[in-house]
Structure 1
Amino acid sequence: MSRSMSMRSRRDLPPPQKTIEKLENMVDGGNYYEAQQMYKSTSARYIAAQKYLEALDILQSGAFVQLKHGQVTCGAELGVMLVDTLVKGALHYNEETFDHIRKIYEAFPRISIPHFLGDDYDDDGQKLSESISAAKVCAESCSSFMRAAIRWSAEFGTSRNGSPELHVLLAEYIYSESPETDMTKVSSHFVRGNDPKKFASMLRNFMGKCYPGEDDTAIARGVLMYISQGNLKDANLLIDELKEQLKSADLEFPKTDLIQFIKYLLPTLERDAYPLFRTLRQKYKTSTNRDPVFEELLDEIAAKFYDIRHQNPLEGLFGDMFRI
């Protein structure tokens, strides 16, 4: 295409608001698939013309309205296309671009899952199965969209781990909406976020519904993840905030060997005391062996704080845990 034709095609594109209104009416009328194809083809024309902001408006509107009508797969697809547009346009992470992501995130459905079956077991069981399946689709779709957004924010933002705000949003969605709570995944996003108080609130909520013995493991995992990232400040803040919240609710902080280990570990890392660190690991090895992730985290902590490194690089669980 010649330069003159390219410039003419840019001028010929209609104002995006007219397109947005037309396609929203199409979705409201139940023509989800046809509207989806038009969202994709129309936004592609704006992208080809390098009108990235207009393309973002179209894709955000499309994702939002599809999700509002329960079309989760369609909405998530348009959301990922919006992130791809941010990358293609080399658009940086800022308040405006974050707002595009946040509005789509907030539109993802929250599925209510019944916790008890009534007298009609067959009917209620079917409803439960359908709710769980729908919740899984929502959680997986939202996670895919948010992980794409985090990767973009890592490339075009100020944090190499991606936007802390986006990590917190994803952690909250995974915890509250996934039918099967994966606390390792939830914690891995919270520790790359910027809200340890909210993390403490989530742990407090988890402690009220987890199986015996899972509460201290969840607390220790969060603390060790923070420390493995070199973030001793938020590790201490997490413990202090959780203690305050439990005290306010007239509940006790867990008193186990694993929590005792964490209690001793935090002040140890504030000074050059590798022999004491090594002694603590040996003394509480039975407790830290409860979760295979702990030993890998402690190896990373030894490298981070005392420059003690194993000959072989860390692989497996630890690497997977922090993969976006």
Structure 2
Amino acid sequence: MSAAAARRRKQLAKKAAARADSGGSEEDDPVTLRLNTLLADTANSDESTAYEALQLAQSQVRRGVKTGKYTDATDLAYTVGLSLLEKHGRVSVASQLLAELVRVLNETHTDCTAEWVKRMCGLDSAYRDALERDAAMATDERDRLGRLHLKFLRSALKWSEVLGTVRFGDCALHELLGRHCWRMSKRAPSLLDEEGGASTDEEAEEADMEDYEEDEDISALSLRCEAVTHLALSEKPDILAEHLKTLPAPTPEEIKSGHVCPPAERDSLLTRSVLVLAAVENLRDANVLLRAYMSDIEGRDSETLRKSYMSKTDGVAPSHVIFCCMVLRTCEKSAKTGPLYSWLLRSFNSELTKIYKPDVIKAYTTKIGKVYFNIQPPPSMMSTLENMMGMMGGGGMG
């Protein structure tokens, strides 16, 4: 063997070793080549092909994480997931890769940038479009995929809170999650349905529960409470008002003085939304929401409601709208109005304790008292208060 041939062989061996150490070039990697081939073949795409692409993508993503190529790993998870949704319409397969994407974003401490928020919005849109295109999908499967997307959006919001620059998470992701919770609430059982007894189809019931936490409430009311919380934190009070407008007006039983039933859902969701906004010191959007509610949604005369709020003989329960107005006006004044705020809570306590998850409402009102009036909560409640406020960033808080 000549000296030139020996040098050539040595150079080739070094290149091969370097390629092996780095995981191989993208062009020569057989896994990448196979993955690209599967994604490009949209004409013959079936479930087995999509799952093969999923497994290859997951393998490449994990290899990218292990070799420190974090950007390549997250970009690959995003692009393959988007392709499975837009070009192949494989929602079930793509949902697994989206879950992997959020895990990798957290594991690699990838910052939540404007570009990544835009990508998340694109994935959400592609996910919903793919579901709508599949008209033959069974209802149970459609509901299951909706629940998986709910988990994905919650995880993405939590990631944006931890690795982003916005307290409680990015506003755009709050809006996505809020809208999805509201859509899911239209397909979820009501509290009355849940109390009516066990399902006749136990297997279907178990399938419905598998995508939720063990102690998670899956009722329509719970999802709507979560929806208005996130829509409030998205700083889009006009969108929140549009959703509240779709709910029915209070019944005579719900506004009767001393009623034992819960308040009207529309009223209680308004109160929850205003308290959330006040608790995070966003009085601007709270006022915008309240004005929109009074002008476009509330059918009763405001002057009549004001007089009724102070009356004890008209047989009408205190108005949620007036309570919210008084809370905001009090918060806009000095800390010396703390006694007035405490009186407002006492006078409206019969309504607040009947709202869904009154302990959460109590956390909001306590936070408002602490922020605006320096009313310190008892030591036993401090940890509970902080935990509940911390759950706003994608914790599924209602």
The TM-score with structure 2 as length reference comes to: 0.66
The 5 Å alignment of 1:1-324 reads: 5=18, 8-10=21-23, 12-14=25-27, 21-25=36-40, 29-30=45-46, 31-68=49-86, 69=88, 71-109=90-128, 130-131=138-139, 133-178=140-185, 179-180=187-188, 181=220, 182-207=223-248, 213-246=264-297, 257-271=319-333, 272=335, 273-291=337-355, 292=358, 293-308=360-375, 309-312=377-380, 313=382, 315=384, 318=388, 322=392, 324=395
Distance of 1:305 and 1:15 partners within structure 2: 63
Distance of 2:23 and 2:37 partners within structure 1: 20
Residue 222 of structure 1 and its aligned partner are, at CA, apart by 0.6
Residue 20 of structure 1 and its aligned partner are, at CA, apart by 5.6
Other structure's SS at 1:223 match = helix
| Kept after mapping to 2: 8 A contact 1:108/1:138 | no
For structure 1, which segment, 83-92 or 228-237, has the greater mean C-alpha deviation from structure 2 after superposition?
Answer: 83-92
| Kept after mapping to 1: 8 A contact 2:178/2:230 | yes
Residues 260 and 141 (structure 1 numbering): CA distance in 2 closer, same or farther, change over 3 Å?
A: same
Distance of 2:388 and 2:75 partners within structure 1: 38
Aligned length: 303
| Kept after mapping to 1: 8 A contact 2:229/2:272 | no
CA RMSD of aligned residues (A): 3.4
| Kept after mapping to 2: 8 A contact 1:150/1:166 | yes
Other structure's SS at 1:206 match = coil
1:151-189 per-residue CA deviation (whole Å, 9 max, x = no partner) reads 221222111311111111111111123422322211221
Other structure's SS at 1:226 match = helix
> Which consecutive unaligned segments of at least 5 residues does structure 2 have?
1-16, 189-219, 255-263, 306-317
1:278-303 per-residue CA deviation (whole Å, 9 max, x = no partner) reads 11122222222221243332222212
Greater gyration radius: 2
Distance of 1:90 and 1:162 partners within structure 2: 15
> Which consecutive unaligned segments of at least 5 residues does structure 1 have?
113-126
Distance of 1:151 and 1:263 partners within structure 2: 32
State, as a whole percentage, how many aligned pairs show the same letter.
21
Distance of 1:209 and 1:145 partners within structure 2: 34
One-letter amino acid of the structure 2 residue matched with residue 95 of structure 1? A
For structure 1, which segment, 197-206 or 217-226, has the greater mean C-alpha deviation from structure 2 after superposition?
Answer: 197-206
Residue 19 of structure 1 and its aligned partner are, at CA, apart by 5.9
Residue 18 of structure 1 and its aligned partner are, at CA, apart by 5.5
| Kept after mapping to 1: 8 A contact 2:294/2:321 | no
Structure with more contact order per residue of length (Cα contacts < 8 Å, sep ≥ 6): 2
